[in-house]
Amino acid sequence: MHDEPDDTELEEELRRVAALLDPVPSVLLQAAVEAFTWRTVDEDLAELVLDSLVDHEAALVRGSQDRRLLCFHTSDVCIEIAVTSTGTSRALVGQLIPPQPASVEIRHRTGLVTLESDTLGRFSASSLRAGPISLRCRPGPQAAGRAVVTDWVSI
Amino acid sequence: MRSQRADGEDVAVDPVEIGGLTRAAAGGDAAAWLGLVECFSGLVWSVTRRYRLAAADAADVFQTTWLRLAEHIGRIENPEYVGAWLATTARRESLRAARAATRILPTDDAAILDRNHIDDHSPELAVLDAEQAVLDSDRAARLWCAFHQLSRRCQELLSVLMASPPPNYLDVAAALDMPVGSIGPTRARCLQRLREKLMSQDVVWHSPGNE
C-alpha cells in the first residue's frame, strides 16, 4: 500500500496516468501544428457574430431545426451562410451583405473549394465533409475589393 | 490573483515566455507556433474531453480551436494569456458541438466510424501496452477507475488540472468558467475524495491475464 500522498503528488500521478490513457491523439497534434499554415496576414477578419445553434433568439426568429444560420461580419461586410446536414455531408448557401459579386474560397481540412457568387453576392456549395471551415471572400467586381476571411467554425 | 502554479517543478507555463511565443508566432515564426502547441494542446484536449463529445466532435473542436488561434493570433489583446484564450475558445466550441450533437442524428457512415477509431484505445489495452513503462500499471488502472467514479464536477476540474504540461490557474478558470479563487479549495476536496475512493477497496478492476 502506498503512503497517503499529498495533493501535489496525487495530481502529478493523475497527470501521468492521463497522459498514458487519454493522450492527445497524434493526428490531432499534427493538425494543430498544420493549422498555422492556414493563417492569413492581410485579410480582414470577419468574426462569427451569430450562430442559430447557440443564439436562441436568432434560432427562434430565423432558424429551423434543419438549417443552421451563421453570420460573420467586419465593419464593411457581412457574410451569412445557412448550413444543412445529411449524415456527414454538409451543404451551404451564402450571401454577402451589402449584395455584391465576390469570389469565394471555402477552406476546409481537405483543401479549398473555389467558387464565384452571382451578381448579388449569393453562392452555394454542396457535398462538403463535416468539420471546420472558413470562407475567404474577395468582394467587388473582378474581386478587386479587400479580401475577408471568416472565423473557423465546425459545421 | 495566481497566474502561476506554486506547487511543483513541472510548471511549464510561464506567462512572459508564452507572451513571447505568441508574438513570435503572430509574426510568422512556425517554431514559436509549435511551442504553443506543445504548451497548450493538453489543455485544449482536456477541455474537449470534459464535454464527453463523440470522438469525431472532440477532434473537430480541437482542430477548430487551433485554426481559430491561427487567424486571431495577431489580434489577441493579452498574448501572455493565450492559454486562457484557447481554453475559452475550446469551451465555447465544445458547447456548440454538444448542441449540434443533439440535433444531428448519428449515422452509420463509414467516415464517422473511421474517425472514431482515434479513440479506440481501451484503458485495459493502454495499460498492457505500458507494461514496459515506469508506471505501475495496476496502480494506474485503479487510479483511473477511481477518478471516473468521482462526481462530474470533480472529474471536470481534475481533468483540466491534470493536462500536460500543467496549466496555470488562470487558464483553468477560463476552461471551466469558474472563479480562480474557488479552484484551490475545490481541487483539495476532489483530491481527497479520490484518495478515499482509492482507499476503499471498492474499485473493481479485473486485469486481463493476471488472474
Q: Does A146 touch chain B (CB under 8 A)?
A: no
How does pLDDT run across B125-176, given as a tens digit for each residue?
444 444 444 446 677 778 888 898 899 899 999 999 999 889 999 999 999 9
| CA of A103 vs chain B CAs: smallest distance (Å) | 20
CB atoms within 10 A of CB B3: 15
Query: Which is more confidently placed, A53 or B190?
Result: B190
Q: How far is Cα B197 from Cα B201, in angstroms, rounded to an integer?
A: 7
Residue B109 has pLDDT above 70, yes or no: no
Residue contact B63–A109, C-beta within 8 A: yes
ipTM at complex level: 0.87
Q: Does A132 touch chain B (CB under 8 A)?
A: yes
User: Of B181, B148, B176, which Cα lies nearest the Cα of B161?
Assistant: B176
Residue B124 has pLDDT above 60, yes or no: no
Choose the mutation target among B9, B10, B64, B192 for the interface with A, i.e. most A CBs under 10 Å: B64
- Given this model, what pLDDT does residue A16 score? 87
Mean pLDDT in residue range A61-67: 63
Q: How far is Cα B197 from Cα B199, in angstroms, rounded to an integer?
A: 5
With contacts defined as CB-CB under 8 Å, which chain B residues touch A105?
none
Q: How far is Cα B42 from Cα B149, in angstroms, rounded to an integer?
A: 22
Q: Give contacts of B 167-186 with A, CB under 8 A.
A: none
Arithmetic mean of pLDDT over chain A = 87
- Given this model, what pLDDT does residue B211 score? 36
The answer to whether the pTM exceeds 0.80 is no
> Domains in chain A, start-ordered, CATH in brackets?
7-38 (no CATH), 42-154 (2.60.40)
- Given this model, what pLDDT does residue A145 score? 78
Task: Report the residue of chain B nearest A26, measured CA to CA.
Answer: B118
Query: Which is more confidently placed, B21 or B11?
Result: B21
